[in-house]
Structure 1
Amino acid sequence: MVNPTLETLQQLGQTTIPTTESNVFCMTIIGQVEGHMVLPPQNKTTKYEHIIPQLVAAEQNPKIEGLIIVLNTVGGDVEAGLAIAEMISSLTKPTVTLVLGGGHSIGVPIAVAGMKSFIAETATMTIHPIRMNGMFIGVPQTFEYLEKMQERVVRYVTSHSNISTEMFKELMFKTGELNRDIGTTVIGVDAVKYGLIDAVGGIGVALRELDGFIAERKRMGPGGLTQ
C-alpha cells in the first residue's frame, strides 16, 4: 500500500498540501497539447482526452462556480487545441484565462477562450502559420486543407478577442523576427496592445476578476452571463 505522505513528498516536494475546498476549478494547459498521436514519454503533455471530461465535470458540478485556465504551453495539435478552446468558450460558468510563461501556437486560441484573458508581464505568445510534420501528399488539396485549418484558427481567435483579422494575419505572416520561421512573438504588454489579450496581470488579478464574474452571475441568475 502506498503511503500518501510519501507519495505527496515525491510528487510535490512537501508533506502536506492545502485542502481548503474551493468554488473555483483550476485547469492547467502545460507542455505540448497532445492530439491523435501519442508523444514520446519524455515530453510533458496536455492530453485533450483528459481535459474535455474534466471540463464537462466542472460544468455539471454545482459546487464549482467558476474556472481559471492557466497556460504555459508551446502549442501542439491544432484540432485538439481548438477542441479544448471550443469547450472552454461554450461553458456556462464564468471562466478566465491566464498565460504564464508562454501561450504559443495553438495555445493562442485557448488563451482567448475565456470571458476575460490575462497575461503575465514576462509571458510570451508566438503567432505563426499552421505547419505539418512528417510525410504528406504534395497535392493542391493538401494545401487547401492547411489553408482551411488556418482560417479556423484565425476566425476563432479574432471572434474571441479584440484583435482584428488584418492585424492577426500580419503578425502571423511576419518574416525576419523568428529564427528559421514565419511569425511573431509578442510579450505581455504587446499582446494587450494588439488586442489579443485583455489585460496584463497575475493569479491574484485573474482570481479577483473571476470572483466578480461569479458574483454577477449569482445576481443575474445562471443564464445571466455569456462568453
Structure 2
Amino acid sequence: MNKETGRSAANQEAEMPPVQPDSEKKTAAVTEAIQQLGQTAVPTPGESNVYCLTIIGQIEGHLVLPPQNKTTKYEHLIPQLVAAEQNPRIEGLLIILNTVGGDVEAGLAIAEMIASLSKPTVTVVIGGGHSIGVPIAVASDFSFIAESATMTIHPIRMTGLVIGVPQTFEYIEKMQERVVRFVTAHSRIPEDTFKELMFKTGELNRDIGTAVGGNDAVKYGLIDGIGGIGEGLSKLNTLIESRRNVQPAGGITQ
C-alpha cells in the first residue's frame, strides 16, 4: 500500500463519527424521559409488571405556568396512562402524589382516566395531596397516605377577569358538584362530611376549608389506609394476583 492510499484511509477513519455505544444511547433516552416527563421510562416491555406514575408540584392545565413552577403536565400523563393500559406486560399502576393541586378540569381528567383503567391501581400520597389532588388520590382501587402527609379540602377558587358574576358563580357551583360527586363516589367519605370539611371556617388562614392529616384522612374515609411505598406495592401485588385468578385461562367467552 502506497503513502497516498494510507493517507486516504486514515482521513476516512478520522472523518467517520464515533459509534455511540448502546449503553450511552439508553442513558440519553432515560435522561430525556426524566427531563420531559419526570419518568425514568415510559411503559414498555421490561422486567417489572408495575408502572410507577408520579404526580408532583402543580397540575398544569390549559395554560402554561411560569418556568419557575414545578408542574405536572396533564398532556404528558394522559398518553402514559393510555400506553400503560394497552401494554400487556403492565399488570398494575402505582401512582405517587405530592401535589399542591392546580387546574380543576385537568385534575378531574387525570382522575377519571385512573378510575377507568381496567388494571389494578394504587395511589400513595406523600407530602401532600391538596385541592384537586384529592380526586386523583381517591381515583384508584386502593389509596394510602403517609402519616405525616396532608390533604387540603377547600372550595373551587378562580382568579382573573370575571365578566358576569351570576353566570360565573353558577359555573363554579356546577364544577364544585363535579368534584364532590367524584370524591364521594370513589371513597367512603359521606357527602355531608366532605362538604363540611370543604366549607369549614377557621382551619385555614384567610380561607375556608380544612387541612386533613394522614390519620384523619383515613378516619373520615377519604383514604383507605396509612402507608408508603412498601405498603402500596404490597397491596398492588395482591390486587394483581387477584385479577390473575379471576381472568379466564384463554379463549373467548361470552
How high is the TM-score relative to the length of structure 1? 0.90
What residue is the counterpart of 1:192 in the other structure? Answer: 218
Quote the residue 2:141 is aligned against: 115
**Structure 1 counterpart of 2:130, one-letter code:** H
Stretches (4+) displaced over 4 A = 3-9
Cα offset, 1:8, TM superposition: 7.6
Deviation per CA, 1:68-118: give whole Å up to 9, x if none: 110000000000000000000000000000000000000000000000000
Question: Percent of aligned pairs with the same residue?
Answer: 73
Letter of the 1:145 partner, please give it.
Y
Report 1 or 2 for greater relative contact order, CA contacts < 8 Å, sequence distance ≥ 6. Answer: 1
State the Cα deviation string for residues 113-156 of structure 1 (Å, max 9, x = none). 00000000100000000000111224211100000000000000
2: CA distance, partners of 1:96 / 1:154: 21
Whole-angstrom distance in 2 between the partners of 1:8 and 1:61: 19
Higher helix share: 2
| Total equivalences in the alignment | 217
| Equivalent position SS for 1:209 | helix
**Equivalent AA in structure 2 for residue 134 of structure 1:** G
Name the structure 1 match of 2:252: none
1:126-165 paired onto structure 2 within 5 Å: 126-165=152-191
Matches of 1:217 and 1:156 in 2, distance apart? 24
In the alignment, structure 1 segments of 5+ residues that lack a partner are 223-227
Specify the code of the residue in structure 1 equivalent to 2:231.
Answer: V
In structure 2, list runs of 5 or more residues that go unmatched: 1-19, 249-254
Q: 1:62 aligns with which of 76, 79, 88?
A: 88
- Give the root-mean-square deviation of aligned CA atoms: 2.3
Give, as a single letter, the amino acid of the residue that structure 1 aligns with 2:194: F
Match of 2:53 among 5, 20, 27: 27
* Aligned counterparts of 2:165 and 2:131: Cα–Cα separation in 1: 25
Letter in 2 for 1:188: G
| Mapping for residues 44-123 of structure 1, pairs under 5 Å | 44-123=70-149
Partner Cα separation in structure 2 for residue 135 and residue 46 of structure 1: 25
Q: 1:176 is matched by which residue type in structure 2?
A: G
In structure 2, distance between residues paired with 1:107 and 1:23: 26
Instruction: Determine the C-alpha separation between the residues in 2 that align with 1:85 and 1:7.
Output: 28
Distance 1:133 1:34 in 2: 15
Q: 1:157-210, CA deviations, whole angstroms, 9 ceiling, x for partnerless residues?
A: 000000000000000000011011100001100000000000000100110000
Larger Rg: 2
Equivalent AA in structure 1 for residue 135 of structure 2:
P
Following the alignment from structure 2 to structure 1, what is the Cα–Cα distance between the partners of residues 216 and 123? 17
Query: Which amino acid in 2 is paired with 1:119?
Result: I
Counterpart Cα distance in 2 of 1:80 and 1:167: 25
Deviation of the 1:6 alpha carbon? 8.8
TM-score by length of 2: 0.81
Matched residue SS, 2:147 = coil
Residues 217/109 of structure 1: CA separation in 2 closer, same or farther (3 Å cut): same
1:225 equivalent in structure 2: none
**CA–CA separation in structure 2 for the residues paired with 1:194 and 1:139:** 34
- Structure 1 pair 63–7 and aligned structure 2 pair: CA distance change class (3 A): closer
